[in-house]
A and B are shown apart, each in its own frame.
Chain A
Amino acid sequence: MKEIFPNKKALTKVQVAVIVIVIVVAAIGGLVYYFSQPSGVTEKTEILLGHVAHLTGFYAYEGTIAAHGTMLAVDDINAEGGVYVEEYGKKLPLRLIVEDDASDPEKTKIATEKLCTVDNVDFLIAPGGSTWNLAAVPISEKYHKLCIGWGGSAEELWTSGFKYYFGFTTVNDLYSATYYAGIIGFLAHYEEWLPEGAPPPLTVALIGMNNAYGRCAVDKMEELVNEFGVQTVVMKEYFDPKTTDFTPLITKIQTTKPDAVIVVGYATQNTNFFRQVIEMKVKEVKIWCPSCWFPQYFLTLGYDGLEYFFDQQYWINYLSDEARDICQRAQEKWDYDHSLGYFAWGYDGVYVLAQAIEKAGSLDTEKVRTALLTETFHSITYGDITFQENGVPLVENFEAKVPIRQVVDHKQVVVWPPEYKEADPIYPPPWDEKYGS
């Protein structure tokens, strides 16, 4: 393999030539690229939106649904001619550039940088998840690009002084107070829905994935349960996301016999968990609730299987006619159920931004930012919404937006809160009837 000759320092002419050519070509290429950057002001004909999304990788499902939300919003707005920008005296259409970050925060950084510098977008929509938001936002801040985020709940997003970041999911406190107060609040207020003579649900088991998301959620829920002081947490367990068999957990549940079990997992884990619960015909628990509800649960477990189970989620189909409408159109366009929070947040990201641009009358970042902080906007998910100084949204009656539903007779029936409920929950669920005794 090696030829060892006495004079080690000499190179053949050919080898020298090759090396020189490589360096020269690289240098010329770099210079050509550098100087070929378009300069000068061109007439503004469109508004560029950049969206970094998880199109592939572990979170492809959630990311794609959100990307579809932004796409549908852009289509809807462009169908009316675009966004009216007073500064230009006309309507400018939106153009969306979606970059895939493969669910990898490293790539999120690269993609965000590219959108800000190479594509020179006017506004950004961040990917979902705190980890990825935290990767993207420092970059958007650096370029003074306004960034709308969704699906990021880490406190650091709001306490790090990001000026140009506005969100649709809120700081942990608000997040937990609303999202988890959904089911926790439902349990705590049992006196309002408990049927005559039924034993009250007093014990809760919290089961979570053994990762940051699961642990965060379980901790917050435990805090809330203790705050309400009505139920007690009798079991707090974690499972590895790789788990496919939940026998240890389920047998522990069968021994501990909590009244309510809340499970924090992603779609795969929750599907496996509840599948086993249904198979093992666990009757000891009266309230089963996955903390995150996916339409695909019905695909895999069926309405029969999930009968009498509870759910809480930003089930936007329910929230308003508008929400139902965009879900319906998404279903027609992409041929699967899009009625998930991520879709609506993606949609709202673009929708609210468009309103802000109109109200600001300009594409200038500072002016749009001022508009976002001072005006009220209409969102599909939350109705009327305003933003606080740190970018956190404020919504009237925030708590009321998380309905709790029970699967009854092949339908999801809203059982809480009282303002929206369609029926009282069936409690305790007739397990003997469902599973046979």
Chain B
Amino acid sequence: MKTVKVPLRDLEFVTSCVILIVTMLVPVFKNTWVIYVMIFFMLYSIMGHSWNIFSGLTRIVSFGHGAFFGLGAYATFIVVRDLSQPFPFSFILSMMLAAAICGATSFLVSYPFLGLRGLSFAICSLAFTEFLAIIFTNTQIIERGREVAFISPQVDLITGYYLVFIILLLVTAVYWKVENSKIGLALKAIGENEDAANSLGVNVFSTIRNAYVISAICMGLAGALFPYIMLSANVEMLFGVNRSLIPLIICIFGGTGSVLGPFLGSIVWQILAEYFRASFGYLHWVILGSCVIAIHLIEPSGLAGMLKKFIKRIS
């Protein structure tokens, strides 16, 4: 019997592939309720991967990725609402515009922000998101004096599902590539011990800046998808604290610095949230919050960590 083991990293890869395959096949069952739940699962996974690219690897926690989500959504509103582009051209254009806006913004702010670490960076990123939120609210760029910004349905549910899936594939691949490349190694080294990495010749600033920009672009893509699914949005929905904190919670829940983390975190979060919402109504948030605490106390390295330990124990 062969007892040679595959690195856990590859096991994560395989499991992630399995999850992606299952996700791709869900629409076959035609249960539209589950499809909707899965769409948001995928969206949160994309957000989680984006966050992981930067914060998961460098361990510099960002509270402010919501800013890029909002900017990405804004890009879609420009393309679909202001420029009235038809689908499918609009989709490609909005993705590109989102990438451009978020890339440029993150590049610019990386210079002042990426000198910070730890809680300072976290609060700085949060302040930046809130700052943008106030500017957008006061200038009314998105809502234009209405209650929400609204676009008419561009795609049907299944097409929308697969659009989100394509972006999920893309962002997962980006994360995987970043994690397993030279830049990934450098990021992890920075995460472990920045000074040591620096002394080994890693250009700390440009490495993390690159990761930040890639991370921001991926988050922007998630944001650009949002109007296609929701059809309506306002500043609170786009730049709110939830957009920034939920991917963070999901990643920590599921496991940072791992490609499996956001998947596991999102699945459990979505499924638990939906089950509790449908069953308990009133108290579902209380129960969900308690679950988060409980699961985290049982296994601090998240669900991916739980899974790893389980695998280790049975092999």
Contact = CB atoms under 8 A, between A and B. Distances in A.
Direct contact of A and B (CB under 8 A): yes
Interface of A: 1-15, 18-19, 22-23, 26, 30, 33-34, 55-57, 98-100, 102, 105-107, 109-111, 113-114, 116-118, 130-131, 134-135, 138, 142, 153-156, 160, 210-213, 215-216, 219, 238, 240
Contacts of B235: 211-212
A215 B235 CA distance: 13
Interface residues of B, number: 55
B278 A114 contact: yes
B2 A10 contact: yes
Nearest to B285: A56
B236 A211 contact: yes
Contact of A8 (B6, B29, B146): B6
A1 to B, nearest CB: 7
27 contacts: A2-B9, A8-B6, A13-B1, A15-B6, A15-B11, A26-B22, A33-B29, A34-B29, A34-B30, A56-B281, A56-B282, A98-B281, A100-B282, A100-B284, A102-B284, A102-B285, A105-B232, A110-B37, A110-B40, A113-B35, A113-B36, A116-B32, A118-B31, A134-B148, A154-B147, A212-B146, A238-B138
Contacts of B152: 160
B146 A216 contact: yes
Contacts of B140: 215
Interface in B93-148: 134, 137-138, 140, 143, 145-148
B261 to A, nearest CB: 14
Nearest to A3: B5
Nearest to A213: B147
Q: Which 8 A-B pairs have the closest CB atoms?
A: A134-B232, A212-B147, A100-B281, A130-B147, A114-B33, A156-B150, A113-B36, A110-B36
A154 B148 contact: yes
Interface in B14-71: 14-15, 18, 22, 29-33, 35-37, 40
B196 interface: no
Nearest to B21: A23
A244 to B, nearest CB: 16
B39 to A, nearest CB: 9
Given A13-B1, A22-B18, A30-B29, A154 B285 contact: no
A85 to B, nearest CB: 27
Is the contact region of chain B dominated by helix, strand, or loop, or is it mixed?
helix
Contacts of B4: 5-7, 10, 12
B292 interface: no
B296 interface: no
Contacts, number: 153
Given A15-B311, A100-B284, A102-B277, A131 B237 contact: yes
B256 interface: no
A1 B8 contact: yes
B255 to A, nearest CB: 12
Contact of B148 (A33, A113, A212): A212
A385 B234 CA distance: 32
B37 A19 contact: no
Contacts of B199: none
Given A154-B150, A212-B147, A216-B147, A111 B5 contact: no
B134 A219 contact: no
A56 B231 CA distance: 23
B274 interface: yes
B232 A131 contact: yes
A111 B284 CA distance: 14
B315 interface: yes
B3 interface: yes
Given A106-B40, A113-B32, A215-B140, A131 B234 contact: yes
Given A113-B32, A212-B143, A213-B147, A9 B237 contact: no
Interface centre among A11, A98, A107, A212 (most CB of B within 10 A): A212
A215 B145 contact: yes
B230 interface: yes
A130 B71 CA distance: 22
A134 to B, nearest CB: 4
Contact of A100 (B2, B14, B277): B277
A105 B230 contact: yes
Given A13-B2, A117-B31, A216-B146, 18 more contacts: A2-B9, A5-B7, A6-B4, A18-B314, A22-B18, A57-B285, A99-B277, A102-B285, A105-B232, A114-B278, A118-B33, A134-B148, A154-B148, A154-B150, A156-B148, A211-B236, A212-B143, A219-B145
Nearest to B140: A215
Nearest to A67: B281
Interface in B243-293: 274, 277-278, 281-282, 284-285
A138 B153 contact: yes
Contacts of B285: 56-57, 102
A135 B230 contact: yes
B10 interface: yes
A155 B143 CA distance: 13
Contacts of B2: 10, 12-13
B281 A55 contact: yes
Contact of A105 (B30, B35, B237): B237
Contacts of B311: 15, 18
B274 A56 contact: no
B141 to A, nearest CB: 13
